[in-house]
A and B are shown apart, each in its own frame.
Chain A
C-alpha cells in the first residue's frame, strides 16, 4: 500500500469515495431524528467536516494497523469495511447492529476489522490506543495504531500521560488531533493556551519531544502526507508523533439533550446557536473538504464529473439501504441484556 508519497489515481478516487460515504452516512443519521423520530436514543456525534482528516489518515494504513478513535466514531469503521447496514443498525439499537445494540452511536466496535472499541469519556481512549501500541511493540506485530481525538481531549490528563508514556516507550502510535475548533459548545480559543497565544495545538508535541505538525484538515492530501510520515516513523520503531488536522465540524456537537418524551434532533452549529456567528459558519462551509477534493480531482481529470456523480449516487443508495435495513432489523431480545458482562 502507498504510504507517504503520491497516491495513485485509483487511490485518490477511493479516498473521495470514502469521504462521500462518511458524509452521506452522517447526513442519514442526522435526518433520522426528523424522518424517524424515536428510532435513535441517547447522544449521537457526527464527523461531517472531518472526512479529510479521517480518510487522509486512514489512507496511509497498512492492512493490519489498528484504528482507535473517541466516541465521534461513525466514519472510521465505514472506511475499514464494516458494512454501513450494521453500523446504522447499531445506532438504531437493533439486533443487527455491529455491537448487537449494546453500544450505540458512541461505542461502535469491530475488532475483526481492526477497530477494537471506543470510549465515550474524553481522552480516555487515547490511553487505550497507547496500550494497543504496547501490544504491537511487545508482540512485534508491525502494526501502527491510529489514535484519533478532538481538540477538547488535549486539555485532559489522559492526553498528556499517554503521549509521555508513548514517547518514553517509543510506541508505534500516530496521534491524530482533530481540531474541529469546538470542544462540545466551547470555542477552542476560550480554553486552549496555545490557541490563545496564536500557536498551533500541535505545539503540545514539544512537551514530549516528539514530532508535532499542523495541517489543513480540509485538504485530505495534506493530512495524508503528514500522517503518512508519522506512520512511517512509528513503523520504523522511532516512536509516536502528533498530527493536528485543523478543520471545522459542520454539525452541532451532538443532538440536543432532551428528556423523553420530548423529541430530540440536531440544533444549529454552536457558532450560530450559541455564539450567533453565522458568518463564521458560512465561511467554513465554503471550505468543505469533500467539495474541495472533488473540485481538485475533476479539475485534474483524475475524476470525471459523471464518475464523481456516480460515486455520490452510490453512496446515497448505500446509505438509504442502510437506513431501510436498520429500520427493518429487529430490536434485541430483552433477556440478552445479561450477556457479555463477563468473558
Chain B
C-alpha cells in the first residue's frame, strides 16, 4: 500500500514508525516539541521527545554518548550549517569512536538537517556541505530526492548502527509523491535510476535530481535520451550503478548544487575516470554552483546555482561530441 504524501510528512512518518517499533529511539532538537500538542510528544512522551537549548556541541555530543550506551538518538539540527559550530563532534568524534575502541562500541546516531535552501537565505543558510562528510570514514551520508526515498532512507538511517548524516533538501519539502505505508527501507549504497535513457547519464542528488529530470524531459524533445541516476547515499556511494549506466550511454554529466571543488560530483568524476574511462565517448562534464558564497538577491542566487538550462547545455555539449573511435 502506498499513499501520496509530502516529503516532510514522509520523514515524520519514518520517525513516528521507528519510534513506535523501537523504544530506544529518542528524538530531540531545538524549537521542537515545545507544547503538548506536538504529535511526537503526545505519542511518545517527554522522556523520548525533547527540546534542547541552542547547544549543538552538547546536542550532537550527547547524541554520541547516548548512542554509545544504548539509545538510538535522532538529533534534529534543521540546517546543515548548524553542524559547523559542532563539527568536531560530527567529523572527529562520532565516526572515530568505534574505530579507536577497536570495534568495541557502536554509535547508532542520526544527525538530521536540511540543506541547500535556495530562497534568499544568503551566505550562511544555503550551503551544501556533504562533500566534507562523505569523505569521512565511519560516517554515512543519505540525501533523498523523493518522498518515498525520504521515508525509506530515514528508516534505514535510524536502524543503522553507525552515525548517519541525513540531509533533506529544503526545496523538496512540499513535493508530493507516493510513499509506501508501513515498514519501508531504502538500503544504503544503492543508487536509483530515476529515468532510463540511452544517450547520456546524468548523476544528480536531492533537488538537482528534480532539475535533471525536468531537463531530461526537455532534451527528449530534441531527441536526446538522458538517464538520470540518483546515488541516494553519498557514503556509501554506489559507483557500480553509475559506471554501469555510463557503460550504456558513454557520456556523463554530473549535476551538483555544491561549489565545484566541494562537490560530490568531483569525487564521482574521479571514480568514473578510474573505473569507466574506456566507456566514455566524451569528457565528463560537471554542472555545479559557481565558486562563490550564495548571494541574497534572486538574480544573483539564480546565476550561481545549477538550473535546467545549464544542465541542458552541458548535456548537448557532450552528446554532440563523437568519440575518437566512433
Contact = CB atoms under 8 A, between A and B. Distances in A.
A102 B65 contact: no
Interface residues of B, number: 46
A158 interface: yes
Given A119-B93, A130-B58, A161-B58, A103 B66 contact: no
B61 A116 contact: no
Contact of A128 (B68, B99, B108): B68
A164 B53 contact: yes
Contact of A124 (B47, B50, B73, B93): B93
A134 B64 CA distance: 11
B137 A128 contact: no
Contact of B138 (A100, A110, A158, A341): A341
Contacts of B26: 134, 138
Nearest to B71: A135
Interface string B52-82: 1101111111111111111101000000000
Where chain B touches its partner, the secondary structure class is mixed
A130 B108 CA distance: 16
Contacts of A101: 102
A36 interface: no
Given A102-B101, A158-B58, A131 B67 contact: yes
A117 B101 contact: yes
A161 to B, nearest CB: 4
Contacts of B69: 66, 116, 131-132, 135-136
Contacts of A342: 98, 138, 140, 161-162
Contact of A343 (B73, B89, B161): B161
A103 B98 CA distance: 10
A168 interface: yes
A157 B54 CA distance: 12
Interface in A72-123: 97-103, 107, 109-112, 116-117, 119, 121
Interface in A147-171: 157-158, 161-162, 164-165, 168-169
A127 B69 CA distance: 13
B64 to A, nearest CB: 5
Contact of A127 (B47, B60, B102, B106): B60
Q: Which of A66, A102, A103, A127 has the most CB of B within 10 A?
A: A127
Nearest to B56: A161
Contacts of A340: 98-99, 101-103
B132 interface: no
Interface string B22-58: 0010100000000000000000000110101101111
Given A99-B102, A107-B101, A139-B71, A131 B93 contact: no
Given A121-B88, A121-B93, A134 B65 contact: yes
B324 interface: no
A164 B47 contact: no
Given A99-B101, A127-B61, A341-B99, A117 B53 contact: no
A129 interface: yes
A124 B58 CA distance: 8
Contacts of A302: none
A119 B57 CA distance: 14
B221 interface: no
A158 B64 CA distance: 13
Q: Which of the four size classes fits the interface of chain A? A: 35 or more
B163 to A, nearest CB: 10
Contact of B102 (A66, A102, A133, A137): A102
Nearest to A122: B88
A242 to B, nearest CB: 15
A44 to B, nearest CB: 15
A68 interface: yes
Contacts of A132: 65-66, 68-69
B124 interface: no
Interface in A10-25: none
Given A110-B104, A124-B89, A343-B98, A130 B61 contact: yes
A162 B100 contact: no
Contacts of B24: 139
B88 A161 contact: no
A15 B62 CA distance: 31
B323 interface: no
A101 B61 CA distance: 25
B57 A157 contact: yes
B89 to A, nearest CB: 6
A339 interface: yes
Given A127-B89, A165-B53, A343 B100 contact: no
Contacts of A99: 100-102, 104
A124 B53 CA distance: 17
A137 B48 CA distance: 10
A316 B312 CA distance: 75
Contacts of A102: 99-103
Contacts of A168: 53
A165 B102 contact: no
A138 B63 CA distance: 13
Contacts of B68: 111, 116-117, 128, 131-132
B261 interface: no
B88 A124 contact: yes
Contacts of B108: 343
B97 interface: yes
Q: Which of B53, B93, B101 has the most CB of A within 10 A?
A: B101
8 contacts: A116-B68, A117-B68, A119-B97, A128-B68, A130-B61, A131-B65, A131-B73, A132-B68
Given A135-B69, A342-B161, 18 more contacts: A102-B102, A119-B97, A124-B92, A126-B61, A127-B62, A127-B64, A128-B62, A128-B65, A128-B93, A131-B67, A131-B73, A132-B65, A134-B66, A134-B73, A161-B57, A164-B58, A342-B138, A343-B107
Give me the 6 closest cross-chain CB pairs, A-B, nearest first: A127-B61, A131-B65, A131-B62, A128-B65, A161-B58, A100-B102
